[in-house]
């Protein structure tokens, strides 16, 4: 016979209600008690019965994560981190790829999910009524839900200032919005513009390149179009995703341009592939693990009942860091060949 709730309670030395609170992700359990119950669950191999959970009014134990696409390395990594953060609560994560379609979100109701974590990029439709929701990234619901995001404008400004500190003055931006809604892209473009303005530089419209997507091929095509269009090529490029940056670097190398000797390139997202590319990619790395944990914790508070569930919607800004690598600094042995340039 598989282990039951009362078996876990007996092993952990707590009540069945306490075990139920831990399994359902309720927050009002002392950390040491939660640790003891989780150890008993792991030792016994206890698996909550979703049907029994629903009958007890404890929910299905299933939450949904809706992201624009899973081919994006950033969203794939984020999905994995959310699954990890949900596991100690005994939650199963149903992952939905929206492709920017609102009906993919509203259709989640048929799966009897308890709550939703939503990255609404490209979606401007509201979530299902009454479904506890945490938004990631773009704010599309006017303060009606908890929201976890990175300050995109500040992060883009940091990327641009990094290039300026290296003596790069003719800086392009690849990833500008080609159509609304595109809140994240708009924020990053604003940060890029502000950083240039703070340095007394005007934005050259020819160097701001909109793209239809945020992938490798889009970055490669955008870089090729930029090089073909301008008479005086840029000496640096800020790409709005790491995938765009890796595609842009490929085009530079195919054109016989040295990165970063001729063109420095920096991306945004901090994906693992960037650390192993040639040259390794400089990037803005959001604290993705923190984003995932906060999203799960906020949703758990809404699902747990009590005073926490009644709190007003919260806005939480998660930190980021600049990771400078070879695509802007050059290899360790070659950096001395590229001193900061004088402004021309």
Structure tokens at 226: 């930029």
Q: Which of 60, 262, 266 is nearest to 155 (CA)?
A: 266
Is CATH 3.40.50.2300 the classification given to domain 152-286+322-337? yes
What are the residues whose beta carbons fall under 8 Å from the beta carbon of 141, sequence distance 6 or more? Answer: 126, 127, 133, 135
CA distances (Å), origin 181, targets 177, 185, 249? 8, 9, 28
pLDDT at 338: 46
> For position 336, what pLDDT does the model report?
45
Q: What is the pLDDT of residue 164?
A: 97
Determine the distance from the C-alpha atom of residue 65 to the mean position of all C-alpha atoms in its chain, rounded to a whole number: 12
What pLDDT, on a 0 to 100 scale, did the predictor assign at position 206?
Answer: 95
Distance CA 285, CA 272 (A): 10
Query: Residue 110 has what pLDDT?
Result: 62
At 74 the pLDDT is 94
Q: How many Cα neighbours within 13 Å face the side chain of 124?
A: 5
Position 128 scores a pLDDT of 60
What's the predicted TM-score (pTM) here?
0.78
CB 340 within 8 A of CB 178: no
pLDDT along the chain (344 residues), means of 10: 83 86 73 89 77 53 90 94 92 88 69 85 62 81 80 96 97 87 86 96 95 94 97 96 98 97 97 96 97 95 73 91 97 52 45
HSE-up of 41 (CA within 13 Å, CB side)?
21
> What is the reported pLDDT for 2?
76
- Say if CB 137 and CB 149 are below 8 A apart: yes
The pLDDT assigned to 303 comes to 87
């Amino acid at each position: 016979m598989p282990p039951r709730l009362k078996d876990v309670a007996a092993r952990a030395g707590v009540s069945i209600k306490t075990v139920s609170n831990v399994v359902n992700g309720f927050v009002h359990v002392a950390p040491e008690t939660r640790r003891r119950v989780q150890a008993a669950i792991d030792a016994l191999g206890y698996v909550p019965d979703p049907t029994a959970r629903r009958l007890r009014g404890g929910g299905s134990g299933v939450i949904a994560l809706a992201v624009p696409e899973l081919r994006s390395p950033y969203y794939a990594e984020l999905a994995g981190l959310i699954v990890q953060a949900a596991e100690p609560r005994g939650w199963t994560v149903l992952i939905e790829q929206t492709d920017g379609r609102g009906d993919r979100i509203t259709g989640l109701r048929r799966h009897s999910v308890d709550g939703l974590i939503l990255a609404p990029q490209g979606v401007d439709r509201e979530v299902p009524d009454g479904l506890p929701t945490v938004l990631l990234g773009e704010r599309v619901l006017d303060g009606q839900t908890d929201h976890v995001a990175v300050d995109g404008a500040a992060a883009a400004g940091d990327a641009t200032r990094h290039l300026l500190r290296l003596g790069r003055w003719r800086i392009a931006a690849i990833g500008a919005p080609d159509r609304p809604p595109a809140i994240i892209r708009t924020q990053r473009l604003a940060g890029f513009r502000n950083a240039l303005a703070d340095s007394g530089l005007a934005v050259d419209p020819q160097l701001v390149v909109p793209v239809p997507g945020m992938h490798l091929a889009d970055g490669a095509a955008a870089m090729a179009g930029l090089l073909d269009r301008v008479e005086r090529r840029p000496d640096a490029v800020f790409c709005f995703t790491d995938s765009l940056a890796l595609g842009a670097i490929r085009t530079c190398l195919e054109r016989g341009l040295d990165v970063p000797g001729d063109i420095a390139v920096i991306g945004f997202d901090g994906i693992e592939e960037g650390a192993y590319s040639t040259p390794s990619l400089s990037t803005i790395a959001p604290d993705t693990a923190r984003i995932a944990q906060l999203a799960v914790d906020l949703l758990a508070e809404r699902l747990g009942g009590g005073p926490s569930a009644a709190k007003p919607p919260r806005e939480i800004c998660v930190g980021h860091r600049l990771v400078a690598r070879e695509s802007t600094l050059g290899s360790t042995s070659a950096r001395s060949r590229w001193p900061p340039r004088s402004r021309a």
